[in-house]
Structure 1
Amino acid sequence: MRDFTIVAVSAGLGKPSSTRLLADRLGEATVTALKAQGAGAKVENIELRDLAHDVVNTMLTGFPSGAMPEVLEKVTGADGLIAVTPVFTTSYSGLFKSFVDVIDPESLTGMPVLLGATGGTARHSLALEYSMRPLFTYLHADLVTTSVFAATDDWAGEAGTVSPLPKRIERAGGELAARIAGARHQGPAGLYDNVPSFEDMLGR
């Protein structure tokens, strides 16, 4: 079985960022699950905070600029995608949505995707289901069943309790690993992929 590449996109605004931390944990869980299946894997992290100006310029001009061509190639060519955003005003961040808007809308078709989000309280956890999941469903991504929301208290757990976050991360990573190992995502179609050969046109 070949080695797989997983891209983890995080839209946290701070450094350090709990959003990046969740993306790291999800990536580690996925790699561990793939290794248990005998497959090698690596995670490439993309922090949108560092690309904010390039994202805006790409939206304004309609053409990828700065680091965006390389970043978009990594995302659309990955074997699996982990997408994590902070929740602002009950939805994904504007930076996260702007980045998704500059991705070729057909390039994520069939891509195994794991969704994650962070927020101050668990009240925002449903944003994953009513906001993020419909967005990636529209893009025809292959979404895993388990999404992961991490509130501030989830990282330590309340006094006398055990946080369910590690187990949820492990389960989500296992689901993504299973999808990646069995996926047939080919990335965006090339410009001439569907052009018939001369032999085909001549009926030979």
Structure 2
Amino acid sequence: MTSTVMRSADSADSAVRRCDIRLPAAGFVGAALLVAAVGCGGGDDTAGPDLAASPTNVRWQPFQGVPLPVTDQGPKSTADGAATGFEHSPRGAGVAALTHSVRLAVAADTQWAKVAARELVPGPAKDEWAINRVQLSITGPASPEFAPRLLGYKITGYTEQNSTVDVYAKYSDRSKAVHHTTVEWFGEDWRLRLPDPGSTARPIDSIDALPTDIVKLEAPT
């Protein structure tokens, strides 16, 4: 997706000045972030949003045995197991990706339908997930053996309509993994978009070490 920055020439300047435009591609999982940096004879630079900015006023609240962040960027509300109300910004998208992916995974039998209704983008992927979830049973908090401990996230692509977010977590056996997620601005909130049923992309990969450039949101032990 391409961002174009246009500046109108000064009416007193009859010369046509050329602007150097740099468009660095960020192409993880097919997403692209194009940030235009324009320099026109000493004019102000125009850049895209800061994808590495950390959420503010971070607190931690447990959900089904897993600590989840509550920040100034969201969620603003939690009810019936579902978390909603995320800021329309990269920070809001990052916190939403962490929150939705965990809540969807560990929601109890009495919670998952409402979590899916309020935190997922409608469509075939959501429908297929619901069919599979009916066949499982979660009645209590997540077992410590399988409960993830969040470590942070990295936004790999961002627009005002959707964002690709890598979510990093650690498990009780000390293994680490990165979950490749997508959140979409839907119904005035960030919701998780599950992979299409026919997708062959890997939703999760094991890793040996964390990247140095992630936004750290490390859950308490």
User: Does the pair score TM above 0.5?
Assistant: no
TM-score (norm 2): 0.28
Structure 1 or 2: larger strand share?
2
Query: Is the helix fraction higher in 1 or 2?
Result: 1
Q: Which has the larger radius of gyration?
A: 2
TM-score by length of 1: 0.30
